[in-house]
Amino acid sequence: GLPARVRIHEVGARDGLQNEKATVPTAVKAEFVRRLAGTGLTTIEATSFVHPKWVPQLADAEDLYQAVADLPVALPVLVPNERGLDRALALGARRVAVFASATESFARANLNRTVDEALAMFEPVVRRAKAQDVHVRGYLSMCFGDPWEGAVAVPQVVRVCRALLDMGCDELSLGDTIGVATPGHVTALLAALAGAGVPVSALGVHFHDTYGQALSNTLAALQQGVTTVDASAGGLGGCPYAKSATGNLATEDLVWMLRGLGIDTGVDLGRLVATSVWMAAHLGRPSPSRTVRALSHQ
């Protein structure tokens, strides 16, 4: 069966914008987050407290976070290390996310570490966050395929998932960073995780739409009991450290499918489309979301 309700973890302001070449003014990002909150989305990933040389677009993390901190929604932020955690905690952040990799190539490219060195870097982050009752999400990238290594073996993914949970992460997000997954692979990974004792309630899915499979993969995950789905308004996105990563699953496409299935998200689709059209005007190109195109005149 399918769940009655799905929680959308909106990543447009972080994953969506991190790859934009032209700097988006902080005020525009803040307005984007405000408009997203006005659509009924309850979890809006705001930014990343990473090294500004690694992700120049998010160098304004402090200013952006302060500009939206009053919103009555959860505002998780990415923190790769203790320095990032310190920056986030100084602003009162109550939800943080570490981001691991299932493959050595991406761990090196994204974090300048081996997989296990990155896990060791996260350990004090998670410990200190949990000591302050801060919610911790653990992202896991390259769960299906890797641009340098090809297909990623399921046991390799299960191992890092277990390590993140054992460390104390409250939830995991299974990333198809480059959008190569297909539904059978999704089902197989979720079955293997269940077999390894990972509760499905702790799992979210994070699909990029490079091959147009993101919605199909999401449906496969819902059928396995997943109820947290990451998506990006208007289908913005991509990772600067993963060749061939494109935008995330568009939140509008997700809401359209869920609405048709009778699954509640609490999101006002009309307002969301209007938000993505507004953002597309700022970015100077139309949204790649099919649903945004269908429901707007852009």
Residue 161 annotated to the active site: no
Choose which of 2, 63, 69, 83 interacts with ligand HMG (CB under 6 A): 83
Contact between 15 and Mg ion per CB under 5 A: yes
Catalytic residue among 143, 161, 169, 239: 239
Contact between 81 and ligand HMG per CB under 6 A: yes
Nearest-approach distance from CB 204 to ligand HMG, in angstroms:
11
3-state secondary structure string, the chain? CCCCECEEEECHHHHHCCCCCCCCCHHHHHHHHHHHHCCCCCEECCEECCCCCCCHHHCCHHHHHHHHCCCCCECCEECCCHHHHHHHHHCCCCEEEEEEECCHHHHHHHHCCCHHHHHHHHHHHHHHHHHCCCEEEEEEECCCEECCCEECCHHHHHHHHHHHHHHCCCEEEEEECCCCCCHHHHHHHHHHHHHCCCCHHHEEEEEECCCCCHHHHHHHHHHCCCCEEEEEHHHCCCCCCCCCCCCECEHHHHHHHHHHCCCECCCCHHHHHHHHHHHHHHHCCCCCCHHHHHCCCC
Q: How far is CA 227 from the centre of its chain?
A: 14
Choose which of 54, 73, 170, 223 interacts with ligand HMG (CB under 6 A): 54
Q: How far is CA 108 from the centre of its chain?
A: 20
Choose which of 141, 217, 218, 228 interacts with ligand HMG (CB under 6 A): 141
Give whichever of 154 and 269 is closer to ligand HMG, judged by the CB atom: 154
**Contact letters for ligand HMG, residues 229-268 (x by CB under 6 A):** ----------x-x---------------------------
Choose which of 189, 206, 210, 269 interacts with ligand HMG (CB under 6 A): 206
Nearest-approach distance from CB 142 to Mg ion, in angstroms:
10
Give whichever of 44 and 55 is closer to ligand HMG, judged by the CB atom: 55
Contact between 111 and ligand HMG per CB under 6 A: yes
Rounded to 5 degrees, what are φ and ψ at 29?
-60, -45
Choose which of 49, 65, 122, 256 interacts with ligand HMG (CB under 6 A): 49
Choose which of 3, 40, 42, 51 interacts with ligand HMG (CB under 6 A): 51
**Contact letters for ligand HMG, residues 153-182 (x by CB under 6 A):** ----------------------x-x-----
Q: Which does 227 bind (CB under 5 to 8 A by kind): Mg ion, ligand HMG, none?
A: none
Known catalytic residues are: 239
Residue numbers at the binding site for Mg ion (CB under 5 A): 15
